[in-house]
Each structure stands twice: as structure tokens, then as C-alpha cells.
Amino acid sequence: MDNAMALFDLQDAITTAHPGTEVFLIPMFQRMKSAWPMWTQVLGFGQSIKNISDTYRDTGINIIGYSQGGLIARDGG
């Protein structure tokens, strides 16, 4: 039931340790919307992640999912 702003400290730690690294917080399905059906969330996040990965096709991306976000990140198999 949290939101993307809870990860600002992690974003700051990553960019401090690895200057120049692009970090995206995806503010979707926050708070009560996190109770929406998982397939709805997977499809929504999947589109956002595809848009990012299309931009960084040559360098690749890493996904960090916290709590339910970790489950969603794994669902793509």
C-alpha cells in the first residue's frame, strides 16, 4: 500500500554509487490500486518496462522490484 516515492532513497543510492546510471521509478498501481488483479498490473508494468527497454536496447536494463513489484518483475519469466 505504498508508492514510488518510498524508493527515492534507493534511487539516490544507486545514482551515487553508479554515476550516470538511469533509474526509473514507475508510479503505477500505488496504494489501493495495488489490490487490482495481478494480471492487470503485470500488463501495465510490462508496457512501461518495454518502453524503457526499447530505449536502452543496446545496453540492457536491470529491474529491481520491491515486495509485490518483485513478483510482477518475475512474472514475465
Summarised one tens digit per residue, pLDDT across range 17-72 is 999 999 988 877 777 777 778 888 888 888 988 999 899 889 888 888 777 777 77
Q: 27 burial class (0-12, 13-18, 19+ CB within 10 angstroms)? A: exposed
Which pLDDT does position 76 carry in this prediction?
A: 53
Q: How far apart are the first and last CA of the chain?
A: 25
**In the chain, what are the domain boundaries?**
4-75
Which pLDDT does position 15 carry in this prediction?
A: 93
Q: What are the φ and ψ backbone dihedral angles of 25, each rounded to 5 degrees?
A: -100, 125
Which pLDDT does position 77 carry in this prediction?
A: 46
